[in-house]
Structure 1
Amino acid sequence: MSLPTARVVIDAPYRSDVVASPAPVIGWITDTDASDWVQARAELTLDRAGGAESHLVEGRASTQVAWPFAPLAPREEVSLRVRVTGADGAAGEWSAPRRIVGGFLGQGEWRAATIGLAAPGSEGQPAYLRTEFEVTGDVRRATLYATAVGVYQAAVNGADVDDQVMKPGWTPYLRRTIHETTDVTALLAQGVNAIGVRLAGAWGTEHFGFRENSRLHYGDQPRFAAQLLVEYADGRSELVTTDASWRASTGPIVASGLYAGETCDARRALVDAEGRGFAEAGYDAAAWHPVAVQEPLVEPEARVSPFVRRIEEVPVVDVITTPSGRTVLDFGQNLVGRLRLRVSGPAGTEVTLRHAEVLEHGELGTRPLRKAAATDRFMLAGSGVEEWEPEFTFHGFRYTEVSGWPGELDPADITAVVIHSDMERTGWFEASDPLVDKLHENVVWGLRGNFLYVPTDCPQRDERLGWTGDIQVFAPTASFLYDVRGFLDSWLRDLALEQEDAGGVVPFVVPNVIPGRPAAAWGDAATIVPWVLHERYADTATLARQYDSMKAWTDLLLGIAGPRRLWEGCFQFGDWLDPDAPPDSPAKAKTDADVVASAYLFRSTDAVARAAALLGRDDEATEYAAVAEEVRAAFLAEYVTPSGRMVSDAQTAYAMAIVFEIAPAEKHAVLGDRLAELTRRSGYRIGTGFVGTPIIQDALTRTGHLETARRLLVQTEDPSWLYPVTMGATTIWERWDSMLPDGTINPGQMTSFNHYAFGAIGDWLHRVVAGLAPDAPGYARLRIEPRPLAGFDSARAEHLTPYGRAAAGWSRADGVVRVEALVPPNTTATVVLPDGATHEVGSGSHAWEVADAATPAPPAHVGLDSSLAAVIDDAEAYQAILDLLETGKPAAATAFRRTMEWLPGRELGEAISRDTDPALRSAVAERLAELSAQRAGANARP
């Protein structure tokens, strides 16, 4: 047996050693082949210039460990090693050293002025900035701190300082800005050096808001600020800052916007007569102008969220000639990014690229973009083969219409470049059902497309905003698939600032650029998202920092509710995008909006009570727990009848009462039975919107209706999770029917084909179908309880927990279900097998086999006298009837699918008599008689 080894992890952006705090949170992941391994202690050694420091951690703590050493100084570089010892007394090897760099500024160190173009020619004018400085000795270290209202890239002596994209990202610029901390030592040379900056407006100068309310929020021009600290080997240091001595110009990026796209004229390249670029020393900048010094920015802080980078490249999979004769490229995947071109042609040739997510009747489907042109233009310099990629915009697209291409277009010369926040992938899922597998893949792509500095609603139209409701429901799924802790930690800081400015109201979107008011499920992101980070990462620090925000939101709601303890009669989004809502009224859901609001009032009040208890605020914990009970009692009295019927008799209402644990446990069974009945009545089609969809499957499975949940999952008719998959979707749609069966885009004013909210089903697939869930914060204890679904051969989930890799899954064959689990070192797991047997296990690989539960056989007899409920529960009979109706009377088939209420007290023959001619009715009776005979024969065989 090998000795345990450990790997140090730090609280820093993925693939970075640069930390934002003098006392970063640390941890380590242990690798060992020993079963039931538990850490007894860990030795830490920090090597720094002043000597080594050591610390001993007694016990099992290995995640979210507070910094035990003297605080880091700005730019200090140290290395940390760990050695773990198990409960068996065996000490492991020392880990590889982990480099850690203090990426923050010291008190009073920020000296940079904010600069920009003095005489811009247009709103949001892209700009080029430069300066030169002299290096006068051997450089020990050179650190560039830079930020912008807008987006930028800096180059030193002609080389870009990093591979980041669209930095520094979007924050509430008037309250919080982010600086990058970049080691540029290797880019400096003795003598004269140059810094060049490319700058555009992006979020800083975009018009945000809907229709006539669209406006600028942060100014009409991008601004930049930076300082370069050069530290010499002889102890001297020099500071190069942005100031009035810098020079500015316009250049090849003629125009750039998030929604409009980017225009580049390569003939305007900033290269002097000697061939030097503007970011190189000695460049002839005689035609450049002095910069304008602007109002200073809020002093920037170090980054805690991941960088955005180019993550993947996707080739063209098909070149389409549309009915109108246009050339459209299909990349086979709805993605977020832009195109990279290799093209040659005469100077001034203009290549135009129009982007869209879908085709509508063979043409580029741009209506969902609304006012977003999503169009890039490149004017060739005529200098041979030219390469170009837009730099300061991005698009959500699968298809690109290309016009103006010189000569014959070779699809190999155009590549889609995928960009998003560079987070570590931590979760995987697979199932034997290929449609469910594809659904999960679409969830992953939906996350990737909408986690770009901000958790956005959609990446393509004139919106792309950090909607609070979307991430509130999706955070559990996101936290399994990727390490989103730093990403959401940063966003929550912005939420608290914007909420503070709004007097306790959590805005609809963060950063806040549209008018808002309190809205249930949206504002509750303030209380729910911090809890998700605690549950999945044991992140108590973020919960503690956000506690005042959680409390302010809840206090605001309690003030609105008043002594009735019910949130009633106010604006609400409600169960947004219920499939029965009219296309242009997405808030008109079956579940009453007051029921949704009061359910969330309970959920947030309860969350504050639990947070207060966890943080040692005992008096507040007692106070809010008592108020939560008052809200619960008011909800039950107002909205739940003594017999267990919700007065808002809709799926979302029942799901909230069960999953939010508002209803007492003794009522869950009757509530679940009614929820299952409503689900069957709808033909196992989804009947929920943003609020109900993430929780309906949990409500069903918790109350013993796994088969109902399975039918809901595998439904392929509209509306359902799998309908978009059958329509070729490669991401999650905003609406259940964003595209209608005939290939027409939904007529509503608002629709997107990349919107992760309904992808919240992923969390249920991970936790329930595969059976891999946290049973203590940060997966210190796991709950492995797979639920084999009828008709599936297998399902499996894998997750990189803070303790290491965990996995759970099952497979069935020959009447046996085999359950397998991988439990990380230093954790334990409670395993509940499909037969109900429970095991407590330690780390290592485990497997069990149990008898497979028999799948109920369909009834032997099915006919016109069968109840509608029996028909919808008999998939074979249902499909046989539908096939006949589709052939004989398509209108009747549509009604059969979409409007039938599948009641146990109504017979099939009576239900179809009005819409079916006698001959077709007879054909249905004959087909069902044949099916019954086949079943009788099968049952009679030995």
Structure 2
Amino acid sequence: MSAVSLSRLQCEHYASPLGIEEATPRLSWRFAGNAADWIQARYEIKITTALPGQSPAAQEHYSVDSSDSVLVPWPSHPLVSQEAAHVEVRAIGRDGSETEWSALDIERGLSEWAAVPITCEEQPVDDAKRPFRVKTTFNVPPTFTSARLYVTALGVYEAELNGARVGEEYLAPGWTSYKHHVVYRTYDVTASLTPGDNVLGAWVGEGWYAGRLAFRGGWRNNYGTRPALIAQLVVDGKIVAATDASWSWSYGAIVSSQFLDGETYDSNLADPLWSTTKSSSDGWKPVNTLPVPSAKLMATQSPPVKAVDFLGPQEVITTPSGKTVLDFGQNFAGVVTILTEPPMKEGEIVLRYAEVLEHGELGVRPIRGAKATDTIILGGKVERYEPKFTSHGFRYVEVTGWPGVGLLDIVGVVTHSAMEWTGNFKSSHKLVNQLHSNIFWSTLSNTISIPTDCPQRDERLGWTGDIQVYSPTLNYLFDGSGFLAGWLKDVYVDQQALGGNVPVTVPDILDEFHNQRLAVWGDVAVLTPYDLYQAFGDVGILRQQYASGKLWLESGVVRDPRTQLWHPDQQQLSDWLAPKAPPERPGDAPTDSLLVADAYLVHTTRVFAKTAALLGETADAAKYDAQADNLTEAFYAEYVTPNGRVMSDTQTALALLLKFGIYPKNSAKFTPEEYAKKYGARLAQLVEKDDWKVATGFAGTPILLDTLEQVGELHHAYRMLQSRDTPSWLAPVLLGATTVWERWDSMLQDGTINPGEMTSFNHYALGSVAHFLHGVVGGLSPLKPGWREILVKPQPGGTFTWAKTSHDSPYGHISCSWKIVDDKLNVDVAVPPNSTAQVELPGLSKVVGSGEHHFSVPWTADPRWPPKGKPIAYGADPSDNWEP
């Protein structure tokens, strides 16, 4: 048997390739095994296709001389609607060894829709829309081979077939730009049907489509006023049920279910048999039909929102005011399930959710206008109840109306778009390990259908700036390829609707922000596709978003006609939530907002030139490369003195110039290397002067520690990482944080919540420090797009004595672990087949192939550690408050 195997065969970026959008799906396979220096020389593909209800076609066999194993071209004919393909792949190495065949079943989605949207009676436009049920009875022949349910909603749905839930998805079909894209799912329901009569039904709620969203009271009916279901059930290629005027509707036990405010459930109205042939027709009425939406019905590569974990409460707390609060021990996003039958038979149980306690009581002020409350009206069965169409961000649940509620009565359901978990990190530093755990949990919480800012308050929007700075970290921890690729499609269509401006949130509902054209946020159109390319090696995502990136640079950026930099009258958020910004003015950062915007403009233009070159757009590549040079010259004329002093003398300003490599090519005074040395030394001075406290906001924080490492100031990077002073990464950990906070001081030392309006306890943006943990502390980063070539360069520092990190790349599992033993640095590396790694250790530089490798090199601790700082006249002594 070969020492190499295929560990995952994948179609495009689908978690499940049932009902795909693409007619010619690209194929990828990961490798497993520890064979030394194994490189693929050739691959073979066998494909058998079949249309529903027909016999399979003859098997096709392809042999391709290539080492490519990521997103290789589809070799067969384009798949048509509902066509299935059984695919088998094996790889042959240069040494002649062969892997076993690996198989995957792919099926094209639905192109021909007979279904129309169906809904209930018209409800008051300005009120919350009560969820309703729809159903139909249909007949299935005595024998059949396959059945597919294609379903979506203008709103959210949960389908049922013969009394059983279809699939495991929450808040389906998710949030898209409904005016342009409505995504559907395909379910294999073959095993759920029986010959003869069957019942197909669904709950339908307002969701993001018609529900209240956003802050300052929010907005309802952002896409429409009438939630509706669109469904089509096909058996052996023939439609047996499709939403139309023949269906019936009725209200049920869910009185109200709102995304921000929670759910009200009347257990007296429960009818568990409503979607079975045993149900009564009493109270059911003919549905109303709606026009077919103009938006494109399409399959999505984004994984569905699912339950990924279950957390039981860890403690029952009685608050100073006598309230009962369950502490789940972890801040997360999702819902709860009632596990037992409460002893009361009348009254109601009220569940209120919050992330923190403030002086022993539920801290609800940070959730602002979100009620975040579930109410259960008693009288019927309550056991196994969980809300359908809401979501909460919480650690604590205040329970009223249930005396004696205990730890075994309620469980928390953790939900997120179920991306594959691909990255891990552990080290000798327990608090940093907790920090990394916090980052992981904030990522889970803020990837429910779209990349959001927070999961708890009256916001939960797809802020473009947050994911722009965070995507490299997300794509290490999770396989975010399909999740972000789908969201980026909405970036483009919403951008087109605004004449080129990238909305600050996508999907776009904030009309009052349409005149804001923001660097850092809008730059997502160029930078995030490029980050995806670096992480997954997918040139296709660059092609998909190319028009979006170009439109941003040509029409979105408001330019100064004199310099072509950002126009000085354009308001910017830039280094948002810098620590020195006052609570009431979170955008009032020390770093000049236009400098940040213009540094990003130079960088984004340069990255777009690289994108153009990769796509063979040579004229655009030359144009934007020259434009980046000209913008750099204009930037230096505007912000840098002749002697090389940057106008905004801050951590953020210097980090941006260094990380983005913004140096003029034709300076008469300094070379780029001299500028870099000058800026690096000054950044180290500022970090020391600031007592190694973080002084950066959204623009500077994600790159700060990496930049210090880049300029040879690693001891300062570790000192900042290990700082206990606020603002720092570890200060919230020391206060008991289990997720990343929006502010460094969201909770003050005395247990009082920060008075600022922007006070979330679950934001991932500042968690982008994990990029440093993975790449510098752990030692893994991609040397070539998609990780085909890996850089292994662990750089121990501070008081760390060991660390390990791993990543499941498009080629397979990569790991690096190191430990300092006496005067030796011992490093173990695993490289997947078909990949190579550049190993950089003290006194050693070596390229290795696949397999397991051990290295032991002499180790000398950094003599600069720990940096002590210099006393300041008439000032406090330098801080020595760091965590060993």
Per the normalisation by structure 2, the TM-score is 0.94
Indicate yes or no: 2:858 matched with 1:844: no
1:179 and 2:184 matched:
yes
Q: Residue 369 of structure 1: CA displacement?
A: 0.4
1:809, distance to aligned residue in structure 2 (A): 2.9
| Structure 1 CA distance for aligned equivalents of residues 838 and 711 of structure 2 | 20
1:477 corresponds to which letter in structure 2? T
CA shift, 1:346, in A, is 4.2
Deviations 1:721-768 (A, max 9, x none): 110000000000000100001010000012100000000001111111
Give 3-state SS (helix, strand or coil) of 2:623's partner.
Answer: helix
Contact 2:797/2:861, CA 8 A, preserved across alignment: no
Question: Map of 1:360-379 to 2, 5 A cutoff?
Answer: 360-379=358-377
Asked if the contact 1:262/1:376 (under 8 Å) is kept, the reply is yes
Distance 2:757 2:6 in 1: 53
Q: Are the counterparts in 2 of residues 47 and 53 from structure 1 also a CA contact under 8 Å?
A: yes
Q: Is 43-52 or 484-493 further displaced after alignment? A: 43-52
1:300 aligns with 2:305: no
Query: Percentage identity across aligned positions?
Result: 42
Specify the alignment match of 2:119 in structure 1.
116
1:660 aligned residue: 660
Distance 1:163 1:247 in 2: 24
**What letter is aligned with 1:767?**
G
Give the deviation of 1:105 after TM superposition.
1.6
Structure with greater Cα Rg: 1
Contact 1:468–1:509 (CA under 8 A) maintained in structure 2 = yes
Equivalence map 1:563-578=2 (5 Å): 563-569=562-568, 570-578=570-578
| Residue among 147, 156, 172 paired with 1:151 | 156
Q: Deviations over 1:289-336 (max 9, x none)?
A: 121112322241112110111111101100000000000000000011
Give the alignment of 1:352-363 within 5 angstroms.
352-363=350-361
Task: State the match for 1:888 in structure 2.
Answer: none
Shift of 1:212: 6.0
Q: Could you report, residue by residue, the CA deviation over 1:75-120 in whole angstroms, capped at 9, with x for unpaired residues?
A: 2222211221111122x14323222222x222xx112111111243
Matched ranges for 1:274-289 at <5 A: 277-289=273-285
Quick one: which of 83, 90, 99 aligns to 2:105? 99
User: Secondary structure of 1:411's partner?
Assistant: coil
Aligned pairs (5 A) from 1:435-584: 435-514=431-510, 515-516=513-514, 517-557=516-556, 560-569=559-568, 570-584=570-584
1:884 maps to what in 2? none
Equivalence for 2:796: 788
The offset of 1:278, in angstroms, is 1.3
Residue pair 2:122, 2:226 contacting (<8 A) in 1 also? no
**Residues 686 and 76 from structure 1, CA distance in 2 versus in 1: closer, same or farther, beyond 3 angstroms?**
same
Contact 1:209–1:215 under 8 Å retained in 2: no
Amino acid at match of 1:381: G
CA contact (8 A) 2:128 2:212 kept: no
Q: Residue deviations 1:829-851, cap 9 Å, x none?
A: 11110x25311111111122222
Give yes or no for the alignment of 1:322 onto 2:319. yes
Deviations 1:33-84 (A, max 9, x none): 3211111111111123101112222121000112111122322222211221
SS at the partner of 2:234?
A: strand
- In the alignment, which residue of structure 2 is the partner of 1:28? 29
**CA-to-aligned-CA distance 1:215-245 (integer Å, 9 cap, x gap):** 431123321111112227xxxx234211111
Q: How far has the Cα of 1:857 moved from its partner?
A: 7.8
Question: Does 1:69 pair with 2:76?
Answer: yes
Counterpart of 2:330 (choices 324, 328, 333) is 333
- Report the 3-state secondary structure (helix = DSSP H, G, I; strand = E; otherwise coil) of the residue aligned with 2:545: helix
Q: Deviations over 1:467-503 (max 9, x none)?
A: 0000000000000000000000000001001001010
Q: Which residue of 1 aligns with 2:409?
A: 413
1:189 pairs with 2:194: yes
Amino acid at match of 1:331: F
Preserved contact between residue 715 and residue 862 of structure 2 (Cα < 8 Å): no
Q: Which amino acid is the alignment partner of residue 340 of structure 1?
A: T
Distance 1:267 1:213 in 2: 32
Check conservation: 1:110, 1:299, Cα contact below 8 A.
no
Separation in structure 2 between the aligned mates of residue 640 and residue 531 of structure 1, nearest angstrom = 29
Deviation at residue 186 of structure 1 after TM alignment: 1.6
Q: Report Cα offsets for 1:637-666 as digits up to 9, x if no partner.
A: 221223332111010000000001112333
- Runs of 4+ in structure 1 deviating by more than 6 angstroms, as ranges, are none
Q: CA deviation at 1:911?
A: 3.1
Structure 1 position 371, deviation (Å): 0.6
Residue 763 of structure 1 corresponds to 771
Q: By how many angstroms is 1:593 displaced?
A: 0.3
Quote the RMSD (CA, aligned, Å): 1.9
> Contact 1:314–1:331 at 8 Å: present in 2 too?
yes
Q: Which residue of 2 is the match for residue 41 of structure 1?
A: 42
How many Å separate the matches in 2 of 1:453 and 1:912? 48
Given that 1:81 and 1:94 are in contact with CA atoms closer than 8 Å, whether structure 2 keeps it comes out as: no
Map of 1:916 onto structure 2: none
CA apart distance, 1:202: 1.6
CA shift digits 1:832-879 (9 cap, x unpaired): 10x253111111111222222234388xxxxxxxxxxxxx943xxxxx
Deviation at residue 448 of structure 1 after TM alignment: 0.2
Alignment check: 8 A CA contact 2:453 2:764 kept: yes
- Worse overlay, 313-322 or 509-518: 509-518
Alignment correspondent of 1:809: 817
Residue in 1 that maps onto 2:261 = 260
Preserved CA contact (<8 Å) 1:35 1:844: yes
1:679 aligns with 2:662: no
Describe how 1:395-406 pairs up with structure 2 within 5 A. 395-405=392-402
- TM-score normalized by structure 1? 0.89
- Residues 365 and 669 of structure 1: is their aligned pair in 2 closer, same or farther, counting only changes over 3 Å? same
Contact 1:12 1:18 in 2 (8 A): no
| Counterpart Cα distance in 2 of 1:34 and 1:387 | 49
Whose relative contact order is higher, 1 or 2, with alpha carbons under 8 Å and at least 6 apart?
A: 2
CA deviations on 1:596-649 (whole Å, 9 max, x unpaired) are 110111122112111110000111111111111111111122212233321110
Q: Aligned to 1:290, which of 255, 267, 286?
A: 286
Give runs of aligned pairs for residues 114-263 of structure 1, distance below 5 A: 114-120=117-123, 122-211=127-216, 214-231=219-236, 237-263=238-264
Report 1:567-646 matches (<5 A): 567-569=566-568, 570-646=570-646
Amino acid at match of 2:283: A
In the alignment, what sits opposite 2:829? 821
* One-letter code aligned to 1:659: K
Instruction: Establish whether residue 699 from structure 1 lines up as the match of residue 707 from structure 2.
Output: yes
What is the aligned counterpart of 2:378 among 352, 377, 380?
380
Deviations 1:114-137 (A, max 9, x none): 111124365312111111112234
Q: What is the one-letter code of the residue matched to 1:714? A: Q
Structure 1 letter corresponding to 2:383: E
Contact 2:214/2:460 (8 A) holds in 1: no
- Structure 1 residue 744 and structure 2 residue 743: aligned? no
Do the aligned partners of residues 284 and 442 (structure 1) sit closer, same or farther apart at CA in structure 2, a change above 3 Å counting?
same
Matches of 1:722 and 1:94, distance apart in 2:
48
1:428, 1:76 → 2: CA distance?
38
Moved more, 501-510 or 292-301: 292-301
Q: Is contact 1:38–1:825 with CA below 8 Å preserved after alignment?
A: yes
* Secondary structure of 1:667's aligned partner: helix
